Every structure is written in structure tokens, then in C-alpha cells.
């Protein structure tokens, strides 16, 4: 089999002491092949790019399809400089995330009908054939509502006064609803622990223990590895 895609699993970020710093955790496992493939295989991979330091105060965590995720991480990392503001970095991440979302939308919605985006615009969007209007509206509706669930992104970094966490929502990069974010395979096992226990965990050490417990719970998903990498931003 030729493995056209490989996937990264769980990643977690959680604030401690009201934004004094962030605990970050990922595993090392990478899955080669689609989930239901008969010959899918999984390995622990040291260079999976699940957790990447962009500068001394900002990290990006990634899960999901590595083709898209690595493109986002590599493109952003190449442009970030030391001392760059979190808001500026987030703008870079959003731009690249939306670009990859557009590519994924083409693959899933348009690739059976058109060669590429240029072909789509040429044959449909600028066509004078009014009979194609309904077809255009149908495609545009699907593209507009497309959820980019192939990739999960977390950005943790220092804002103007404290550390902040942002996460992907299928369309862009937005502030996390909680004082934590969790993405990737195994999140359904990890999130309940984070929701329940982080309300009573405040110090760096307390939050780290909860994050480790949540990651351990995520291992109930076969795509989450047993090895755990824990890092801190402060």
C-alpha cells in the first residue's frame, strides 16, 4: 500500500495561575493510512511536529492530517521572529489555516468536477451560462459551510499581559472557550477530566498533573501513544 496520508493525535494546552504560564502535552504516535484500512500501522515518532516552539513565548500544537498540519506549522514558523506579538502570530496562523482549509474543501467538494481552483473559477464562477447559477450557489454553499476537521491547531502564547490559548473551530483560529484546549484523537476522553479537575487546579504543578491524567485517559483511543511530552511556557 502507498500511504497517502498520516495522522497525529492528541495535543493539550492548559493555563495555570490565571495565565502566568501554560502546560503543554502531546504524545508521539503517528498513524499511517486511513483509520479503517486493513493494513494501517502506528509508530512512535520523535519528529512528528506535534509541538513546535515558534519563539520564546509562543508554541503551536497540531493534530490530524500531517500534510495540512505540517504545511501550517512550517509556513508559520518560517515567518515568526523573536519578539513578534501574539496577535501578529495569530494572523499568520489564521491565514495559513484558512488557506489549507480551502485546499481541503477543494479535495472533498470540487475535485471530482474540476482540475483545480483555477479550473473551477474559469468554468463556473465567471461563466455566462445562467443555467449554471444554481450549480455555483450549491458549490459556494458547501464551501462556505465546510468544516476543516482534518486538522486541529492550538496556539499558546503570551499576550499583552498574560498567556492565552487559541484553537481551531473548523473555519478559523479562535480564543479557547476554556482555560485549556484539547485537539486530536482521544479528546473525548481527555476533555471531561480537564473540565472537571482544572477548576480546582491552579499552580503549575497541579495543572501539569491534571494535563498528564487527561492525556493518559486519551490513550483509550488506539491512535494515542503511551509516550508523553510535557513542556511549559512562562
pLDDT tens for 97-126 read 999 999 999 888 888 778 788 887 777 656
Domains of the chain: 6-233 (3.60.20.10)
Neighbours of 78 (CB within 10 A): 8
Neighbours of 31 (CB within 10 A): 23
Cα angle for residues 157, 219, 75 (degrees, 5° grid): 35
Of the candidates 227, 224, 226, 223, the residue with the CA atom closest to the CA atom of residue 36: 223
Distance between terminal CA atoms of the chain? 44
Which has more pLDDT, 88 or 44?
88
Contact 11, 26 (CB under 8 A): yes
Mean pLDDT check: name the lowest of 14-23, 25-34, 121-130. 121-130
Residue 90: band (very low, low, confident or very high) from pLDDT cuts 50, 70, 90? very high
Residue tagged 496562523 (cell numbers): 93
As a whole number, mean pLDDT of residues 23-42 equals 78
Amino acid at each position: 500500500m502507498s500511504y497517502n496520508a498520516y495522522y497525529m493525535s492528541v495535543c493539550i494546552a492548559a493555563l495555570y495561575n490565571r495565565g502566568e504560564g501554560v502546560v503543554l502535552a502531546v504524545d508521539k504516535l503517528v498513524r499511517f493510512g486511513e483509520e479503517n484500512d486493513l493494513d494501517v500501522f502506528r509508530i512512535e515518532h520523535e519528529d512528528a511536529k506535534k509541538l513546535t516552539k515558534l519563539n520564546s513565548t509562543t508554541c503551536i500544537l497540531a493534530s490530524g492530517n500531517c500534510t495540512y498540519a505540517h504545511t501550517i506549522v512550517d509556513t508559520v514558523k518560517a515567518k515568526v521572529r523573536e519578539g513578534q506579538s501574539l496577535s501578529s502570530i495569530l494572523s499568520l496562523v489564521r491565514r495559513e489555516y484558512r488557506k489549507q482549509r480551502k485546499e481541503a474543501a477543494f479535495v472533498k467538494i470540487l475535485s471530482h468536477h474540476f482540475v483545480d481552483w483555477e479550473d473551477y473559477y474559469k468554468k463556473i464562477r465567471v461563466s455566462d451560462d445562467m443555467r449554471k447559477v444554481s450549480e455555483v450557489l450549491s458549490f459556494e454553499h458547501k464551501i462556505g459551510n465546510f468544516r476543516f476537521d482534518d486538522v486541529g491547531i492550538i496556539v499558546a502564547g503570551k499576550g499583552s499581559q498574560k498567556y492565552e490559548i487559541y484553537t481551531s473551530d473548523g473555519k478559523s483560529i479562535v480564543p479557547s472557550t476554556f482555560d485549556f484546549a484539547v485537539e486530536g484523537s482521544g479528546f473525548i476522553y481527555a476533555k471531561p477530566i480537564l473540565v472537571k479537575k482544572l477548576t480546582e487546579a491552579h499552580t503549575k504543578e497541579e495543572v501539569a498533573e491534571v494535563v498528564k491524567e487527561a492525556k493518559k485517559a486519551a490513550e483509550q483511543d488506539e491512535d494515542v501513544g503511551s509516550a508523553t511530552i510535557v513542556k511549559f511556557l512562562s
